[in-house]
Structure 1
Amino acid sequence: MLGGSPTGEVAARYGASRQTLHSRRRRFEQEGMPGLLDRSRRPRNSPTRLSAEAEAEICELRRRPPRWGARRISHELARRGLEPAPSRATVHRVLSRNGLVRVREQRYPRKYRRWQREAPMHLWQMDLVGGVPLADGRECRTVAGIDDHSRFVVIASVVAVPGARAVCSAFTAAMRRCGVPFEVLTDNGKQFTGRHTRPQPVEVLFERICRENGITQRLAEPGSPTTTGKIERFHRTLREEFLDHVVPFESLAAAQEGIDGRVHAYNHQRPHQALDMVTPVGLFRPHTPVRRNDEPPEQTLDEPELSVEVVEVPVLPPQGTAVECDVRVPPSGEITLGTGRQRVGIHQALAGRTLTVWANHRSVRFLLDGHLVTTVPSRLRPEDIAYLTMRYGARPAGAEPAPAALPRTGSGTAVLAAGEPVEVDRKVLRDGILCLAGGRHQVGFALAGRTVTLRLDGRLVHAIADDALRGTGPRPVPADRLGQIRGARTATSPLPLRPCRPGPSGPSGRCMRAAVS
């Protein structure tokens, strides 16, 4: 340029802009060769630069427990009136510059699908957390529950023994205060579900409370703690900010008082980052009025008030009464009641279905959707009836759904009066054969797949289907073996007088007589 070359040609030759060449020329003319050296581009003054006092306060907030992150520190400085409040990025740069942030690389990066219910009281997450020490050396656990939408802690009950009754008592007490949620999400602990109980699945008390209160129970997949991530994150907060810094409590009541105080601060004072720094109480709307502070409750809820009828822990029925309970048929089809005294075989086609059991000291009936499946003599003792109440949530039964089974002696043989008719239900196989007392008898292809009632009266057997007499033939079972027929019961209804019409729609009496003769 100084030799007379055009500025544009020199800029193209050295890959620089025209503005850079003009500025370097002026600096060379004023300072000589030192003016061509690179200089710092830092501005001479920074009016918005963070002050040393503010930077020191950021470091102090980071060092003091609880160890807040950049977003929480920025929020706290704004609440304390610092103007202008530093942004989250500014606070993070200050922490990094002072060595207060440790960068940890995740070895196996994971991608989580975040989800949240659209309104409060739609879903509660529940779990148990330990680490509550007592002065006598015991370590108690806390039954905790959190609302999925608002992160409001609805349950925080300290229990010495984390059994089913303690969990259910805390759950029902929370429903009295806040109302009944629509859904509840838990892990697969034995306090919450009996789905994985061996040798057969059962319904535990928590499942019964959910069923009778209309609550949809959801279970996390085994080995997937992130499904209940909100309650797990609350457990971490409770440990890091409270339980790790306390001395053993004098008693269980003192531990509960300490947990209650911490939970109140969590719900009413501690801003939550997932809620855009809003406290959980600002978003929680229960189904019933609750007292949030010392002020009387106000009817300012967005949702209408619901009448809460919480199912309590069941009471044992009086001795000698019948009970009802629901059981799930295992894949093997063998159902065990009581302490193993009563074993009943159900067809494997009903595996996975829920049957209603009606039981007393004489008979045990199994019903599917109100229809009788089978009736067997009862071998249950009074203590077994009480066991059904405790394990399966049995309730006092209503009227007998079907005739009682035949009374039996100690050897298992039924007691029959002379000439007393008995009835038994059997299902006809696909080839038109039914099984009775160890024998196979042909009844006709038209009844294949249907259940037929056989009435053994005197020396005859009558086949009844759809309240119509399908056929009559000689009794295929000797009189001394009538008491050994499985599922036999006393005949209480009279013999239908209307026979079925012979034809393609049903078997004729001739066919039945020929089959059992």
Structure 2
Amino acid sequence: MTLRQVLVEMSVMEQRYRAVQDVLAGSSVTDVAERFGVSRQAVHRWLAWYQEEGLEGLADRSSRPRSSPGQTSTEVEALICELRRNHPRWGARRLVYELGRRDCPGSIPSRITVHRVLIRHGLIDPTPRRRRREDYRRWERGRPMELWQLDIVGGIQLADGGEAKVVTGVDDHSRFCVIAAVVRRATGRAVCIAFAEALHRFGVPEEVLTDNGKQFTARFGRGGGEVMFDRICRENGITHRLTKPRSPTTTGKVERFHQTLQRELLDDVEVWADPEEAQAAIDVFRHEYNTERPHQSLGMAFPTNRFTAQSTEKQIPLRLPPTLDTTIPAPRKPLLAPPPVPPSAAVSATVAAASSATGDDVGLAVEVTRLVPASGNLTICGQQFWLSPTRAGLPVTLWADTTVVHLLIDGVRLKTVPSRLTPTHLRQLLADDAQPAGPPPITTGPVQAGAPIEVERLVNATGLISLAGRQHPVGYHFAGRRVTVRLDRGLLQIAADGVLLRNLPNPLTAAEAASIRDARPAGPPPTPSPEPVRVERRVSCRGALVIAGQRIHVGNAHAGRTLVVEAADTTFRILDGDQVVAEVPRTTTKSIARFKARKPEPPRSKRPSTPPAKATVG
């Protein structure tokens, strides 16, 4: 038997012991290392282990490093897990973006590091992709209005048992939603009306991309010929491109918009009263999607930052079929300037306007009362005001002039929006049932530098509001509410109906605050809420809960239960239903950042039952 075969049969520990004994017997380290087939450094390392720990020091040991300087800190991991639990739809890329906007302790981790943290803590289930990301061929047009992607999506269940559809369209370069029209039946005529309205508002794109639906093409129709959509494209110089059959990834951008629409809006409502109610809600979502929601494929920019409508110089008269042109309603919010008027016509129009205007039109303001319709979308003289179906049937008072409209219910101002009413509209309202208005409910006008300001904002589904081109978290529990944001030096106050909801540090500089759109001089400070803030916390297995960094022990009898905590200025009161469990003084100055329990209490039907005690004989 050779020496190599003998060494194979020997254990690793025995080989190291033989080598150490040979060196201690007088052999040189070089000869021993050559005979055992290892380096001289390994033999020196074995000698050191044997001298320090004896024979046990020659056993195999882990090669794991004692320290890892590049390891993600526990504070960053806790912040990642907190953001994910509060916003379950945020992925790794969105979390990296949000960490950059917050005071992240230490360096910001990479996307793959955040992904591994989520897997390690069980917040996502790692599933292999069917196709790798690099297997897809990504493409994007180089400028806006070069290509629109159009499609139709369902999923709107109506109270009468029917299902409405949504005609959608996005700009390929900017992901700007140009079409989001609810129709009862997705006929070719309904699709063309929605398409023509978008052409009126934004201009004519160079190309459109659709699938092979019968509303868009007669490619697979029996009779062949040309459908109305193809005719509109041909007469307006639009190149109509079709996808391959059974290739939905070709129109991937509009399909991705469908997924966002379904998750963030349509899944939250099971049944809609009518298409008008669904259209009003989709209009609000569409505005938020275009102007206030960061898009990952755009480097977390907003679609409106990359979209530009067609200029009036390049705009040509829109040609529509005669039977369709008469049915196109006027655009609800024109984004293009009117076509140029000849000089002679402009002079005539100016003289006519001057002759019809009177001195009474200056400062003309009216007050009118209307009932909120079932859809929650009130329309006056062509201007729409979204008030939510929850206020259906309530009388709302509108204070309106040519610059601003205030909406009030029972004397409490709900919101203030820019006015699109003309003096003619105001005189028409006075002739009907309106009354001359008194002083406005709030002061509007130019904002002075350094003075307190306020602005109306709608909190989106993830608890964020848009200020100065960036999104700021105000609380997930405020999602869907319209609030008044008041900026007073270093304080940001969230209020509704004149009642203070939350105080936060002001994240904006003076220059950023001056650039906020729709800002106005602030009125009096909101009154503190008479009711304490109520939050939920789940008691740990040791009978404790944590709120705003303060640990409160409530007893092991409540372990695993979800309790309600009433947070006042000086105390915390813990409630189990209507029963007061504990009331302790508040020793923390931190603000409450989480209002829902991380893990809800399991229903009683799914709780493990206590096994019955065994009967004993004796």
Matched, 1:205 2:228: yes
Aligned to 2:171: 147
Match of 2:261 among 215, 235, 238: 238
Describe the SS at the equivalent of 2:244. coil
Aligned to 2:51: 29
Describe the SS at the equivalent of 1:315. helix
Paired amino acid for 2:187: G
Post-superposition offset of 1:215 = 0.4
Alignment partners' CA distance in 2, 1:152 and 1:247: 27
Aligned to 2:136: 112
Aligned to 1:269: 292
Q: How does 1:96-495 map to 2 (within 5 A)?
A: 96-105=119-128, 111-198=135-222, 200-288=223-311, 305-315=313-323
Match of 1:56 among 63, 78, 102: 78
Post-superposition offset of 1:82 = 1.4
Aligned to 1:2: 24
Describe the SS at the equivalent of 2:308. coil
Post-superposition offset of 1:113 = 2.5
After TM superposition, the structure 1 stretch with the greater mean CA deviation from structure 2, 18-27 or 57-66, is 57-66
Alignment partners' CA distance in 1, 2:196 and 2:33: 81
Alignment partners' CA distance in 2, 1:259 and 1:284: 20
Given the superposition, is the C-alpha separation of residues 15 and 169 from structure 1 closer, same or farther in structure 2, using an over 3 Å criterion?
Answer: farther
Post-superposition offset of 1:226 = 1.4
Indicate conservation of the 8 Å contact 2:193/2:324, yes or no. no
Paired amino acid for 2:280: E
Post-superposition offset of 1:81 = 2.8
Post-superposition offset of 1:88 = 0.9
Paired amino acid for 1:284: F
Post-superposition offset of 1:61 = 3.6
Paired amino acid for 1:310: L
Describe the SS at the equivalent of 1:260. helix
Instruction: Report % sequence identity.
Output: 54
Post-superposition offset of 1:98 = 2.1
| Post-superposition CA distance 1:294-313 (Å, at most 9, x none) | xxxxxxxxxx8522422234
Paired amino acid for 1:80: R
Describe the SS at the equivalent of 1:32. helix
Indicate conservation of the 8 Å contact 1:141/1:161, yes or no. yes
Alignment partners' CA distance in 2, 1:32 and 1:88: 47
Alignment partners' CA distance in 2, 1:18 and 1:316: 91
Given the superposition, is the C-alpha separation of residues 20 and 116 from structure 1 closer, same or farther in structure 2, using an over 3 Å criterion?
Answer: same
Post-superposition offset of 1:265 = 2.2
Aligned to 2:100: 78
Describe the SS at the equivalent of 1:171. helix
Paired amino acid for 1:58: I
Given the superposition, is the C-alpha separation of residues 64 and 240 from structure 1 closer, same or farther in structure 2, using an over 3 Å criterion?
Answer: farther
Paired amino acid for 2:267: D
Paired amino acid for 2:77: E
Aligned to 1:95: 118
Aligned to 2:519: none
Indicate conservation of the 8 Å contact 1:66/1:241, yes or no. no
Alignment partners' CA distance in 2, 1:243 and 1:224: 25
Describe the SS at the equivalent of 1:21. helix
Given the superposition, is the C-alpha separation of residues 35 and 121 from structure 1 closer, same or farther in structure 2, using an over 3 Å criterion?
Answer: same
| Post-superposition CA distance 1:207-253 (Å, at most 9, x none) | 11111110000011111111111111111121122211224333322
TM-score normalised by the chain length of structure 1: 0.53
Aligned to 1:485: none
After TM superposition, the structure 1 stretch with the greater mean CA deviation from structure 2, 38-47 or 252-261, is 38-47
Contiguous gaps of at least 5 residues in structure 1 = 289-303, 318-517
Describe the SS at the equivalent of 1:144. strand
TM-score normalised by the chain length of structure 2: 0.45
Paired amino acid for 1:187: D
Indicate conservation of the 8 Å contact 2:149/2:251, yes or no. yes
Describe the SS at the equivalent of 1:130. strand
Alignment partners' CA distance in 2, 1:40 and 1:171: 67
Indicate conservation of the 8 Å contact 1:121/1:285, yes or no. yes
Alignment partners' CA distance in 2, 1:23 and 1:168: 81
Post-superposition offset of 1:54 = 3.3
What is the RMSD computed on CA atoms of the aligned residues? 2.7
Describe the SS at the equivalent of 2:323. coil
Indicate conservation of the 8 Å contact 2:170/2:254, yes or no. yes
Post-superposition offset of 1:12 = 3.8
Indicate conservation of the 8 Å contact 2:204/2:315, yes or no. no
Alignment partners' CA distance in 2, 1:232 and 1:38: 56
Post-superposition offset of 1:130 = 0.6
Alignment partners' CA distance in 1, 2:148 and 2:252: 12
Alignment partners' CA distance in 1, 2:89 and 2:228: 40
Q: Which one has the largest radius of gyration? A: 1
Post-superposition offset of 1:32 = 2.2
Given the superposition, is the C-alpha separation of residues 91 and 118 from structure 1 closer, same or farther in structure 2, using an over 3 Å criterion?
Answer: same
Aligned to 2:438: none
Describe the SS at the equivalent of 2:304. helix
Alignment partners' CA distance in 2, 1:130 and 1:57: 38
Alignment partners' CA distance in 2, 1:73 and 1:5: 61
